[in-house]
Amino acid sequence: MTPDDMKQVMRRWASTVTIITTKHDGLIYGLTATAFSSLAVDPPMVFVCINTKTRTHPLIDASGIFCVNFLTPEMQSISDRFAGRMPDTERFAGLAHHVAATGAPVLSDALAYLDCKVVERHLGGDHTIFIGQVLAAKVQQPEASPLIYFNGSYRKIQN
User: Dihedrals φ, ψ of 4, to 5°?
Assistant: -65, -35
Give CA 20 to chain center in angstroms. 3
What is the full per-residue pLDDT of the chain (159 aa) written as tens digits? 898 888 888 888 889 999 999 999 998 999 999 999 999 999 999 999 999 999 899 999 999 999 999 999 999 999 999 997 666 668 999 999 999 999 999 999 999 999 999 999 999 999 999 999 999 999 999 999 999 999 989 998 866
pLDDT (0 to 100) of residue 88: 67
| CA pair distance 79, 69, nearest whole angstrom | 11
Could you say which of 3.40.50.300, 3.40.50.150, 2.30.110.10, 1.10.1740.10 is the CATH number of the domain covering 13-152?
Answer: 2.30.110.10
With a CB cutoff of 8 Å and minimum separation 6, the contacts of 79 are 17, 19, 32, 71, 147, 154
Give me the sign of the Cα torsion angle 133, 138, 140, 145.
positive
pLDDT (0 to 100) of residue 9: 87
pLDDT (0 to 100) of residue 159: 60
pLDDT (0 to 100) of residue 13: 82
Kindly report the pTM of this predicted structure.
0.93
pLDDT (0 to 100) of residue 157: 82
Cis peptide leading into residue 3 (ω within 30°): no
